[in-house]
Homo-oligomer: A and B are copies of this chain.
Amino acid sequence: MNVVNAAIITIGDELLIGQTIDTNSAVIAQELNKIGIWVTTRIAIGDVKQDILNALEEQSKKTKIIIITGGLGPTADDITKPALCEYFNSTLIIDEAARQNVINIFTKLNRPLTERNLKQAELPGSCKPLLNLRGTAPGMWFEKEGVVYISLPGVPHEMAGLMESSVIPGLQKHFTLPVIIHKTAVTIGVGESVIADILIDFENKLPPHIKLAYLPSYGLVKLRLTGKGNDKNELETKMNKLHLRLSSSVKEWLMADEDITVQDVLGKLLDKYKKFVGSAESCTGGYIAHLLTSRSGSSSSFKGSIVSYANEIKEKGLGVKHATLVKYGAVSEETIIEMVEGAIDLLNVDYVVATSGIMGPEGGTKEKPVGTVWIAVGNRETVRATKHFVRFDRKRNIEITAQTSLNMLRKFIIEMEEK
């Protein structure tokens, strides 16, 4: 099998002090993977010229493709271009297409153009420039002793645009690439170890060119099969068979047989049954609504949400009875049920999911400690409420509560629509 490996080098002190989370590497890796290029290493280094030179030197011994992002800005801490000039024995010259691009962008934005902005069009003479339509810093393509070096800006959407328009087509043309196929099954509500015990035989019998990985997150476990080969049809057939066997082995907990979020599964269900949904959120503070609307076209199944953070809004906005709040408190079965009932009426939807809890770090009491959460799902006939505990930091507690809520809603809808 023809194996083409790549390394990703991300540049910037902000990555090393942890001020920025590196999402670029994940996007680049995903895109390379789709065309059969395997990323063997990702390295983050600071804005230090010698470190950049060393990383290029080291990686060029191990891989055929090196992708660099970051350090192309117009300020003094951006030193990728001087480093590339030194590495490729080159000097900076103005690229006319890049200069015109900078001028066009500033004209369009109606902003004053400075000398510093025009410096973006200066590129090492030995590179092939890659036009960046989303920003002023062009990409660069270099070749040296059989290795392809590609330098991209660190701004995520500029990098993504260049990957699509120039890098992927360029690499496909330059290399003969193998086929890589991923198949994923997503389980929910079960631990990694239980699944691993069930899959022992399956895993042991996998051929050497196919691997199984376990990716746990937020109560989900993603099971990912990765196969490499030369013949696309042959590999596809084999992978489909294994994927089917994998999915049926864990069908008790299977949420989806593709790499998909709970909100996307829900959106598809709602579209299928032509139903509308809404949320009544206290402790999740709008995060469930955000997840539901993160999907393009969500207006076909989502009408709205009442984020009733204060008790006053639970009463005025959702019609929760004052007496209920006084007697049982906001975090209670009684309140959460009235929240669902009120939201179904106000939002005029078929299904509602509601949350009320204490996400921390403050706000807990002895009876209702931080982490106590009531979640309810319902339609006009039935409301089902359950109590949960979440035990992490505020951010994660909100995320887990939202995921759990959406999964409860998913199961409830299946039960109601398929009965």
Binding site for B on A (CB under 8 A): 13-23, 25-31, 33, 38-47, 51, 58, 73-77, 111, 114, 116-117, 155, 157, 182, 191-194, 196-197, 203, 211-217, 222, 224, 226, 259, 279, 281, 285-290, 292-294, 296-299, 302-310, 312-313, 316-317, 346-348, 360-363, 392-396, 398
A113 to B, closest residue via Cβ: B193
Count copies of this chain in the complex.
Answer: 2
Q: Which of A212, A309, A362 gathers the greatest number of chain B CB atoms within 10 Å?
A: A309
Report yes or no: A305 in contact with B293, Cβ–Cβ below 8 A.
no
Are the C-beta atoms of A13 and B299 separated by less than 8 Å? no
- Report if A309-B298 is in contact (Cβ < 8 Å); known contacts: A21-B26, A192-B75: yes
Q: Which 6 A-B pairs give the minimum distances between C-beta atoms? A: A285-B293, A286-B289, A286-B286, A18-B29, A18-B30, A305-B307
CA of A238 to CA of B286 in the docked complex: distance in angstroms?
Answer: 43
Residues of B within 8 Å of A396, CB to CB, are: 157
Distance between Cα atoms of A58 and B21 in the complex (Å): 24
B25 touches A22 (CB 8 A): yes
Give the chain B neighbours of A307 by CB distance below 8 A.
279, 286, 289, 293, 304-307
Across-interface contacts of A114 in B (CB, < 8 A): 193-194, 197
Known: A28-B18, A114-B197, A316-B346. A304 touches B293 (CB 8 A): no
Task: List 26 A-B residue pairs with CB atoms under 8 Å apart, sorted by A's residue number.
Answer: A14-B213, A15-B26, A17-B39, A18-B26, A18-B30, A18-B39, A19-B26, A20-B215, A20-B217, A21-B21, A21-B26, A40-B45, A41-B45, A42-B44, A75-B192, A77-B212, A116-B197, A117-B193, A155-B216, A281-B289, A289-B289, A290-B398, A302-B309, A304-B309, A306-B307, A316-B348
Pick the contact of A46 from B40, B309, B361 — CB < 8 Å? B40
